[in-house]
């Protein structure tokens, strides 16, 4: 029976008169899947409830930070307690140090770190710090890796940029874009050639070690090890953008899984329990170049916001206590394997991968290893699958260029319900 979405459609109509495209972030518009966005009013555990009271099993988790499920009691209690004490001081607090200590305990490459308000701020600050520290100008990134809407990095990016067919964005000066070189992901030969061509003016290489913005595409070990070597050879900094993979794939992030130590790491909203927050950090000798110790300026009035810090301490403390990542990976493999088995009987190509709490799938015979291969996977099948799954109460990312996320509240009972909804979806596909 079709889900009624009268209220969502009316709300979207109003929103379009107030915001560009009716949304505050492009991928929310559902334009790529030929649909209107859903407006939600509440969430609990693995379940989202929309403005028409339809319920969905959520496999986005606010793009990752809801790894303990929505409205987690530990996080809610931490927020309530801090609300009584104040929402913002614009001044130092002990909880900033408390969260920093937790992060550093699990990601030791972050010898010192600084809180910011988003993943975009974190990557932007990493780039400025790398250029200031090295005295060099040029950056290497990888096609399909999206590092936020930073001018220097919005060149052949993934995520929403790919969804809407905009490999580069107007508003990014040509002079700035020329300082950024984009290579194919997982391509050792290409990045080695470009790094050698840039030579002495290479400030940094930035990469998603596990890409989540061209779908879910893990970096290959040899590729990431090559990046570390190229940076060492050229006295450049290696930046791991773990805004999506940090505390989603393992307690120590992708760098722990690959046993590769970057010079700088960017983290995102997971460290604030879903509140607007980010952080960047790395070697003490590099971080000490930031003001007020050094000449490289970076600031933020709301950085280290006490609400976000309190929520982050609650979430990370629980993750460290339970270390759920093997269980999360098994849970996503459980339902993805079921989808593949069903589609195999219909002769429909399907591939999938999971690491910790992140996963992805493509309508292709084999898993893509770079952006070009992702673009060649079947768009029409993805759009049809997404919309049918949505009708049946499954909320996946509305773009094949986005990773999925699973939470500790996706119990066996929820997974069995997921299987039932997948059966209906594939039957109608």
Query: Which amino acids are annotated catalytic?
Result: 146, 241, 269
Q: How many angstroms separate the CA atoms of 351 and 251, rounded? A: 26
Nearest CA to 129 out of 269, 267, 288, 277 is that of: 288
Q: How many CB atoms lie within 10 A of CB 332?
A: 26
Q: Look up residue 124 and give its DSSP letter.
A: H
DSSP string, 77-115: HHHHHHHHH-S--SS--HHHHHHHHHHHHH-TT-SEEEE
Q: Is 255 within 8 Å of 109 (Cβ atoms)? A: yes
Check the CA dihedral 83-88-94-100 and report its sign.
positive
Backbone angles phi, psi at 298, to 5 degrees: -160, 135
Judge whether 183 and 224 are in contact, CB under 8 Å: no
Coil, strand or helix at 242: coil
R_g of the chain, CA atoms, integer Å: 21
């Amino acid at each position: 029976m079709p889900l009624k979405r009268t209220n969502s459609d009316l709300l979207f109509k109003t929103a379009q008169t107030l915001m560009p495209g009716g949304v505050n972030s492009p991928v929310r518009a559902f334009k790529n899947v030929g649909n209107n966005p859903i407006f939600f009013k509440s969430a609990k555990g693995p379940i989202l409830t929309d403005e028409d009271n339809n319920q969905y099993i959520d496999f986005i988790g606010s793009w990752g930070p809801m790894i303990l499920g929505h409205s987690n009691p530990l996080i809610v209690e931490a927020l309530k307690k801090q609300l009584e004490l104040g929402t913002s001081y614009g001044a130092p607090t002990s909880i900033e140090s408390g969260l920093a200590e937790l992060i550093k305990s699990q990601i030791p490459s972050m010898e010192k770190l600084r809180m910011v308000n988003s993943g975009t701020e974190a990557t932007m600050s990493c780039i400025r710090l790398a250029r200031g520290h090295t005295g060099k100008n040029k950056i290497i990134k990888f096609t399909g890796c999206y590092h936020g809407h930073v001018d220097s990095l919005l060149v052949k990016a993934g995520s929403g940029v790919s969804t809407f067919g905009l490999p580069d964005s107007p508003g990014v000066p040509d002079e700035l874009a020329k300082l950024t070189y984009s290579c194919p992901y997982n391509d050792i030969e290409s990045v080695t050639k470009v790094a050698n061509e840039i030579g002495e003016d290479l400030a940094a290489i930035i990469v998603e070690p596990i890409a989540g913005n061209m779908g879910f595409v893990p970096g290959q070990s040899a590729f990431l090890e090559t990046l570390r070597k190229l940076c060492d050879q050229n006295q450049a900094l290696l930046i791991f953008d773990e805004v999506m993979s940090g505390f989603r794939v393992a307690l120590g992030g992708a760098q722990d899984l690959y046993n590769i130590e970057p010079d700088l790491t960017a983290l995102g909203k997971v460290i604030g329990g879903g509140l607007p927050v980010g952080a960047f950090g790395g070697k003490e000798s590099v971080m000490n170049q930031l003001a007020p110790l050094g000449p490289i300026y970076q600031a933020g009035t709301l950085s280290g916001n006490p609400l976000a810090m309190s929520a982050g301490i609650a979430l990370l403390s629980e993750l460290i206590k339970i270390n759920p990542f093997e269980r999360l990976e098994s849970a996503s493999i459980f339902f993805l394997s079921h989808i593949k088995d069903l589609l195999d009987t219909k002769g429909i190509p399907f591939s999938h991968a999971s690491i910790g709490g992140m996963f992805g799938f493509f309508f292709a015979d084999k898993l893509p290893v770079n952006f070009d291969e992702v673009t060649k996977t079947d768009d029409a099948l993805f759009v049809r699958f997404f919309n049918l799954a949505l009708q049946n109460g499954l909320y996946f990312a509305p773009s094949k260029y986005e990773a999925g996320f699973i939470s500790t509240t996706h119990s066996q009972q929820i997974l069995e319900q997921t299987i039932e909804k997948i059966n209906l979806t594939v039957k109608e596909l």
